[in-house]
Amino acid sequence: LTGMPPFHFHLQEDSRLIEDKVGLELSDEASARGQAMQAACAMAPDLFVNSQAQRLVVDLRQDGGSPVVKIIISLVVEEP
């Protein structure tokens, strides 16, 4: 679409790795960071409630593999 190299959003759900080989074409790094944040927040309820996972990592990388940012969401349940 933009001719820009794609950003890759690798996921880690507890110990399960889901590699994003294809990636997403986005206009710039800021919008990729926005997508990572949005995706992590959107996926968390699904994972924590429906799949009983406790930790979600969105590992955003440039096309060559260099890291941009990691968004980590952990579930903590405290019993009294």
Which residues contribute to the site for another protein (CB under 8 A)? 9, 11, 18, 20, 22, 24, 35-36, 38-39, 42-43, 46, 50, 58
We find the least distance from the C-beta atom of residue 29 to another protein, in angstroms, to be 15
Q: Which is nearer to another protein, 11 or 73 (CB)?
A: 11
Q: Would you say 39 or 68 has its CB closer to another protein?
A: 39
Q: Which residues neighbour 44 within 8 Å (Cβ) at sequence distance 6 or greater?
A: 56, 73, 75
Is the CB of 44 or the CB of 78 nearer to another protein?
44
Q: Which residues contact 68 (CB under 8 A, 6 or more apart)?
A: 7, 29, 32, 33, 36, 60, 61, 62
